[in-house]
Structure 1
Amino acid sequence: MTLAALRERFGGAGRNPADELELAKSCGDTLPYRSLIVIEECGEPLSELPRSEFARFEPHPYLAAGAQYEGASPFWVREGVLFRLMAAQELLRQRKPNWGLKIFDAYRPNQVQEYMVRYTRNQVAAERGIDPDSASDEQLASIMSEVYKVWAMPSEDLALPTPHSTGSAVDLTLIDSRGEVVDMGGEIDAICSETLPNFYRSSTDDYGVRMHANRSLLNEIMSEAGFCRLPHEWWHFSYGDQMWGLLKSLQGSRDVAAIYGRVADW
């Protein structure tokens, strides 16, 4: 499918591109759509997210699970991403004084992506009472379909890097004036329908209305700072990668290219 055809299908009048792509994701990985966006690497370096500016989830959850970063840090992002995160936090504080952003994960080398896919595969298999190493093809396919709901398929293709391997993507949430994590109605990396950003949109009970408002607040300040939200995860935002370029294209921008490719390859 061409980008023009994708715009016609998912970006038509009255349609929300993110909602449409959310449906597409349920039928398979977004990788075929991301491939429509070319990468024009800008060579911007990685910078560490300063502790003085942002709260972090520590110990980092993937390090705690045994992932090896080999000298890299999960709290690195491209300089342009750092600049926009600081802008997003300022926008948040204009609306919610003394609130802030709390970073769950950012840069993720390929070996960490591969490790966490295997780790999650083993978790899902254990929940089903299955040994993944002796599972049937059908069982394994079912397990992996769950895994890929929250993990991008590892890729060695330089033209199709995983988002976090580019330093462009960040998983994050909100904290209130007491430093407490704001309830968003679902855990980061959870494999369940509550991960969908608009899961609570039609809720009429007080809790659901509040959860949708919290998610909307996060999306609004991040979008105003230049990020795009991944259509099937309320916590994942990126700037400058192929997914960002794809969503910008569906929103009407023309000739959008990704400016960040896989970090280790330039």
Structure 2
Amino acid sequence: MKIRIPLTPDPVWPDVIKITIEENQEPLVPVSLAPAPLQVYPAYYKMGIPNSVPECHVRTGVYQRLLQAAQALPAGISLLLLDSWRPYAVQQYLYDTLYDALETRLPNKTATELEQMTREFVSLPSTRVDAPSPHLTGGSVDVTLVDRHGLMLDMGTQFDEASVWSHTHAYEEIAAPDARETEVINNRRLLYSVMTLAGFTNLPSEWWHFDFGNQLWAWYSGAERAVYGATQLDSLENRWRREVEKYSVD
């Protein structure tokens, strides 16, 4: 079933970050081991973004819902995960890069205006316990669809394209879509449908961005609280330290 994409308001960030987080301690898990039709392509690592990681990690609850969404797709179509949990340094790089590009192109804009424009596509970098950036929680995912040949379906814009046409609802506003626009509408509706039916919410300014468990998900789903705060990948050093701490001391 393809759901017509509704016109949804942008998040009111001062209110979003007021939502209580009751961390449930779900670990981050790698998605590259997932069975088809769920595939992984760590886009930022492939692009050479500094400090990006060569794997896509999500919370276990997100992993289960990604599988559910992928399995709901028609035969021959796969769900492709492009980005999920990301280090703070990557969040800062993305924010600064877009902000600088806008500042160069629009020198008459104020700092406040530039920040607002930047936050349309990149969340403010934050490791605050009560207000982490969504992607730092392991609850945000950037996804698209690919065909049986591994080619991405036409979604109207590229992933991470800073354009008004990247807004999830944008193509729904076209009164008489042509053949290509109709294809885009159907592709976006398919992605939106399987993701929302699996329990995700969508960020209205990005057709590719979906959330579960974090403050942004709580804001759009009406949940009383979020269950994912900022998290980190577990390191071998940390695991060894925990094991060593269990040793008895003579």
User: Is this a same-fold pair by TM over 0.5?
Assistant: yes
The answer to whether the Cα contact below 8 Å between 2:143 and 2:208 also exists between their aligned partners in 1 is yes
- Contact 2:95 2:118 (C-alpha < 8 Å) held by counterparts: yes
Pick closer, same or farther for the CA change 1:201–1:61 going to 2, 3 Å. same
Matched, 1:212 2:185: yes
Q: Which residue pairs with 2:154 in the alignment? A: 183
Distance 1:186 1:152 in 2: 19
Match of 1:100 among 78, 85, 92: 78
Deviation at 1:234, TM superposition (A): 0.7
Give the partner amino acid of 1:19. Answer: L
Alpha-carbon distance change, 81 to 20 in structure 1, aligned in 2, over 3 angstroms: closer
Quote the Cα distance in structure 1 between the aligned partners of 2:212 and 2:50: 25
Native 8 Å contact 1:37 1:257 kept in 2: yes
Distance 1:34 1:42 in 2: 19
Do the aligned partners of 2:50 and 2:90 also contact (CA within 8 Å) in 1? Answer: yes
Tell me what 2:24 maps to: 42
SS at structure 2 position matched to 1:55: strand
Question: Is 2:194 aligned against 1:221?
Answer: yes
Matches within 5 A, 1:1-266: 19-22=7-10, 30-51=12-33, 53=35, 54-58=38-42, 60-61=43-44, 64-69=47-52, 75-92=56-73, 96-126=74-104, 128=105, 138-203=109-174, 204-205=176-177, 206-249=179-222, 256-264=224-232
CA contact (8 A) 1:18 1:231 kept: no
- What is the CA-CA distance between 1:140 and the residue it aligns to? 4.3
Kindly, what percent of the aligned residue pairs are identical?
28
Q: Is the 8 A contact 1:74 1:106 kept in 2?
A: no
- 1:67 and 1:116 in contact (8 A); partners too: no
Q: Is the 8 A contact 2:141 2:209 kept in 1?
A: yes
SS of equivalent to 2:143: strand
Aligned to 1:201, the other structure's residue is in SS state helix
Q: Verify the 8 A CA contact 1:169 1:237 in the aligned structure 2.
A: yes
AA of the residue aligned to 1:49? V
Listed one character per residue, the Cα deviations across residues 37-79 of structure 1 (whole Å, up to 9, x for unaligned) are 2111000000001255333335x3256343214xx55500001
Deviations 1:119-164 (A, max 9, x none): 22233344x2x8xxxx78x454444333222000112321111110
Residues in 2 aligned to 1:40 and 1:18: alpha-carbon distance in whole angstroms = 30
Contact 2:66–2:195 (8 Å) recurs in 1: yes
Q: Alignment length, in residue pairs?
A: 227
State the alpha-carbon separation in 2 of the partners of residues 171 and 211 from structure 1: 17
Read off the aligned partner of 2:86 and give its amino acid letter.
R
Task: Please give the alpha-carbon distance, in whole angstroms, between the structure 1 residues aligned to 2:224 and 2:99.
Answer: 35
